[in-house]
Every structure is written in C-alpha cells, then in structure tokens.
Amino acid sequence: MADENSGKLQPTIVKPPSRPAKAAPAPRADTRPEVAAAPLRPTAVKGVQRERLAVSAEDLRTLSPGAKAGIVDRAQAMLAGVVLERTGEGRAILWGHELQKAHGERVAETLGLAQLPVIAKVQGHVARMLDILGSFDLMAAAEPGGIGHYFRSVNGKIDTAREIAAARAELDQLMRLLMAALDELLALRSRLESNADAIEALAADIEAAALAALFLAEHTQPSRPGVAACFTERAMSLTQTLAQIRGHGSLRDRQLDVPIRMVGAIQNVTLVSMPDFLAGLAAIQSLGMQAPSLSPTQARELNYKLQDIVRQLRP
C-alpha cells in the first residue's frame, strides 16, 4: 500500500538570487569637495592707533596756577574727547565759539528784559507818587485856619482840605496800579535771575575752554605750529570774553536789583506804609470840617510817615 501522502504535491520554495550592494555613484569630475565655512573675523588694517589725550589736573594747573578745581575738571572733560591727529585748524578756529555765541545771546536777552515796559510804567507811577508826597505841607495845615481854608492862593503845596482830598484820591489810585504791576515785576525778577545764573555757568565753561585751548596750543606747537597759533588766538579771545563777563557783573547786579527793589517798595508801601498814611489824611479831612486847625503834633506825626514812604520809594 503506497504512502497516502506520496501522491500529494508540495509547494517548492525558491530563494531569490542575492544582489550585489549598490555602489555609490562616482564623483563627477567638476564637483568640489565640501569644506566647512570658517567663522567671520574683522579685517585688520595696519595703521596708526588714534589715542585720546591723557591730561592730568597738574598739567592744567601748570598753565593756570590760580584755576579753581571746578574749572580744571571742566577743562579735563573738554580735552577728554580730543584726538590730536584729527584736530586741525578748522576745529581750532571754532574752539569755544558756541560758548561765546551763547553769552552774546544771554547779554542781549538781559538788555531786552531791562527795557520791558513794566519797568518804565512802575517808575512813572512811583515818580508821580513822589511828586504828590513832596507837595504836602502838613505843618502849614497845622497853622490856624490852614486845614479849613478852601480858597487859599495857589502856592504849589498841598495844604488845604480840598487839595488833601484830591491828593489822597490820586495816591489811592496809584497804589492800586502799583499792586497790579507786582506780578509782572516778580516774573521779570525771575527771568533776570535765571539769565544771571546762565551767564555765570557760561563764564565757568569759557574759562575752562580757554585753559584747554592753552593746553592744546602747547601740545600741537612742535608738529603743527599753524594749529597751535589758532588755539592760542582762541585762548586769548575766550579770556577777553571772560573779562567782559566779570567786568559787567556789577551791571547785572544793578539790573537785577531794579525789579527786586521795586517789588520790595511796592509791597512795603502799598500794603503797610501808604494805607496808614492815607488813614491819617482821612482824619485830617474830617478835622478840617470840624475844627479850625490840625495840631502840630498830629501834623508832625503824619510828616514822619510821609518821609518814611518817600525814603522807601526813592532809588
């Protein structure tokens, strides 16, 4: 009996033929091998290194022994930004020019402020007030019949009840006008003070610039005498400007004193002295209607008050 499995067909397993590994393509003749990029670096160009000036306080004090520490510090700060190799005649000629220009502008502004209309207006009011006060003859009003006499001959003096009443009314009006001008005077005073402070600051900068110019003239003289001559000229010009500022200091003080004195006079006179005096005049008018004369003591007391007002108002 034949094996029962011998007649059945079995699947044949065939192994695929092995393939050779694929070779890498040969490099083309015109292909360059890749090279790692090198990091970028600054390009160095040979030349002369430009150095800023090394300036000590002793170097500057040698040129100007009397210079204050603040001036020396300012001059050092100005010189710290100077590179001699880049400093030619053009820069030397303009050294400190802007400081002198700023000084001229400040001087012009100060002169303009001193001529503002408020000054002339207040001076006019004060002058008129002094005229009226100077016309009072209070001792004559104390004479018998003086205060009550309405038809006294014109003598240029204020010594009758009618004249006192008119003077009192005008003084009261002038006092109101002066009070109205007080705010303008205070604003003017503030602007003049600010200008004076600015000029003083410029003076310090100008003095420092002159000192720095002397230093630069000394250091450029050996190699560039033309530049040194320009710096020397600028040092002389700046020194002249500084002398003008110092010489005009008293003038600036007087210009500043005008509104300050006016403010003080207006405040003292209009708020204290004049109201007291006007009250005394009102009392005189009342006495003129009721009594033949003002007592010498009353007249003398009022005259003291009048002279005190005049003293405060006069320049």
pLDDT confidence band for 201 (50 / 70 / 90): very high
CA 196/CA 188 separation, integer angstroms: 12
Q: Is the dihedral of CA 99, 104, 109, 114 positive or negative?
A: positive
DSSP structure string for 8-22: S--PPP-PPPP-PPP
CA 208/CA 206 separation, integer angstroms: 5
Name the residue among 96, 95, 130 with its Cα closest to residue 228.
95
299 lies in some domain: yes
pLDDT tens per residue, range 114-125? 888 998 999 999
Contact 158, 170 (CB under 8 A): no
190 lies in some domain: yes
29 lies in some domain: no
What are φ and ψ of residue 48, in 5° steps?
-95, 125
Contact 171, 132 (CB under 8 A): yes
Structure letter (DSSP) for residue 25: P
pLDDT tens per residue, range 268-310? 898 889 999 888 878 766 655 444 456 778 788 888 999 999 9
Contact 87, 227 (CB under 8 A): yes
In this prediction the pTM is 0.67
- Using alpha carbons only, give the angle 37, 42, 46 rounded to the nearest 5 degrees: 130
pLDDT at 251 over 90: no
Higher pLDDT, 82 or 294: 82
CA 275/CA 172 separation, integer angstroms: 9
Name the residue among 155, 154, 129 with its Cα closest to residue 277.
129
Q: How far is CA 264 from CA 170, 186, 261, in A?
A: 21, 10, 5
109-132 mean pLDDT: 91
Range of the domain at 238: 112-313
41 lies in some domain: no
How many structural domains compose the chain?
A: 1
46 lies in some domain: no
pLDDT confidence band for 45 (50 / 70 / 90): very low
CA 187/CA 30 separation, integer angstroms: 88
CA 220/CA 203 separation, integer angstroms: 26
What are φ and ψ of residue 158, in 5° steps?
-95, 100
137 lies in some domain: yes
128-153 mean pLDDT: 68
238 lies in some domain: yes
CA 119/CA 113 separation, integer angstroms: 9
Name the residue among 56, 105, 104, 100 with its Cα closest to residue 234.
100
Name the residue among 88, 129, 153, 142 with its Cα closest to residue 265.
129
88 lies in some domain: no
- What percentage of the chain has pLDDT greater than the value 70? 74
